[in-house]
A and B are shown apart, each in its own frame.
Chain A
Amino acid sequence: MKKVLIITAAFAVAVLARAAIQPIEGTNVVGFTDIAAPSGANTIITVPFEACMSNGGAGMLSDMVATYSLTANADAALADQLIVLTTNGAEQVYYYYYNHPATGWTAINTEVIVTNGQSRVITPPAANAFEIARGLGFWIKRVASADSTVYVQGQVTSSKQATLIATGLNLVGYGSLQSFDINAIAWTGAFGTNNLSSLYSDRIMVGKGDGTYTTYYYFVKRAGAPSYYDQFTNKWVLSTASGPALPTRNVPAGQGFWYHRRGPGPFTFRPDGE
């Protein structure tokens, strides 16, 4: 009887000791999420993740945009494609990739037309060597297919996004796992002037999915303007027949957009704050 009690007591102590030990947490969280990208259409997407899982380094295109559920074809014209507007040194370049059935995202050479009928060919970096910074926006061009989803994957980030916005048009996004109100994130550096200036204020164009865009202008109240406009100042607004209006819909998670920078010089988009 005593022996049984001793064994029982020892077992109870062991259980209690085990319950007191904290688990060792992994150093990262990874996952994937779906983004709406209708077939037979072009959609601007952005990747809400950062480092890729496979090598622990910066996220590479081939790792971050899954080819699962996408259309692969040895003929680039019949495959889903990714098109990235980026910079190659000092110039803008378009990099094309298509979903090859054997090799996944595969680079396509681009012929760059210059003046006087001259041209040169640029070869994009391999998809497994092309770094995708969180906040970069790029096109996914879908051929006709039953599936309207693209999956992006990677490591959930805990750091704050910092994306350079250059003068002119930029394909960018907010690397968020949830849809977001465009006025609920930080826009320090965005430029607006003279209430709603459709000519001079920065603007954002968010695709509607049908090839058209909803355009938002950065509103900065003009000195002396009525207090009515206080509700819009330092916010993105729609230009309507009755004046400025706040956005009525959120930007879906994973959807990129055009940022047309018209303010003085570039700035760094820090949607999560400084």
Chain B
Amino acid sequence: MKQMFSIVTGLLLAVSLLGSDQLTLSMSTPGPDTYADGTPVLTGETYLLVYVKAGSAFHGLYTDGSLVDTVNNQIVTKAYAVEGSKCGFKAIQYPADSFPGGGSWTIVVLDTRMSDGTVGGLVAGLGASVTADAASALSTSLNAVGGSEAGSTPALTAETPTYALSNVAAPEITAVRQNGGSVDVRFKKCQAGVLYEVLSTTDLAGQWQTVATRVQATAKNIVQGADGVELPTTVQVPVTDKVRFFKVIVPNAAQ
């Protein structure tokens, strides 16, 4: 009788029970988190809390900040960098069945720096290495992801490039003007949400060098050209240049 009792109770113990409707989770990073170039993340930079379904992984972002894998990844909330180049503490509450146990949480730091050095632009890079298991609906734990005290989790580095949006049109340069030490380049077929780079060379048979990155169309910087909207940008060149060529590319694009 006792043996039967213990078997039954043993089996029943293995079955989890109903839990709270709402769960809580906090996110933060100990910092200092950095960009790919090694500089500390700027205050106000964006962090994402991404839920990753069981058996999957975080598959990255497009330059406009949208998810590459919208089936298995879900952006749950955003947080922002505070002094110390770290994700500021943020508390969230969520329905237990919205983000089932078995999945995981990932904190992603973004690189949204624009050419003027301020944050808030398109996403040029990301770092995602802080993860935690998502709690089951039965959780009685106080859950947190990312840690807060120095050394509690590794610092994040936004060194993974983002992907170009699909079906981006190939840019086409419409004007180039030398200004002695700088060159104004304009191109058309520019799209919102796309990061462009300008490459330059003095020898068409030689190596192309990147001379401008994070070139992005905004309402403030686009101009009307003969054949629609154009995006101007200025690149620096040696004053002594006798010959130089330019082209515009969309990096990390899967065509």
Contacts and interface: CB of A to CB of B under 8 A. Distances in A.
A103 B9 CA distance: 50
Interface in B73-111: 74-77, 82, 84, 86, 88-95, 98
B20 A92 contact: yes
Given A168-B18, A169-B140, 6 more contacts: A75-B88, A110-B92, A110-B93, A168-B19, A196-B5, A213-B140
22 contacts: A76-B89, A77-B89, A77-B148, A85-B24, A96-B91, A110-B24, A111-B90, A112-B93, A112-B94, A113-B77, A113-B92, A113-B94, A143-B149, A144-B149, A168-B21, A169-B19, A196-B5, A198-B9, A198-B13, A211-B141, A241-B10, A260-B17
A270 interface: no
B2 interface: yes
Nearest to B99: A113
Nearest to A169: B20
A242 B91 CA distance: 43
A141 interface: yes
Interface of A: 42, 75-78, 83, 85, 91-94, 96, 98, 108-115, 117, 119, 122, 139, 141, 143-144, 168-169, 195-199, 203, 205, 211, 213, 226, 239-243, 258, 260, 262
**Chain B contact residues, majority secondary structure:** mixed
A211 B135 CA distance: 14
A199 B10 CA distance: 11
Contacts of B12: 197-199
Contact of A111 (B74, B77, B82, B148): B77
Interface residues of B, number: 39
Given A198-B9, A239-B13, A94 B19 contact: no
Main secondary structure of the interface of A (DSSP, over half): strand
A38 to B, nearest CB: 14
Interface of B: 1-2, 5-6, 9-10, 12-13, 15, 17-22, 24, 26, 28, 74-77, 82, 84, 86, 88-95, 98, 140-142, 148-149
A123 B102 CA distance: 30
B2 A108 contact: no
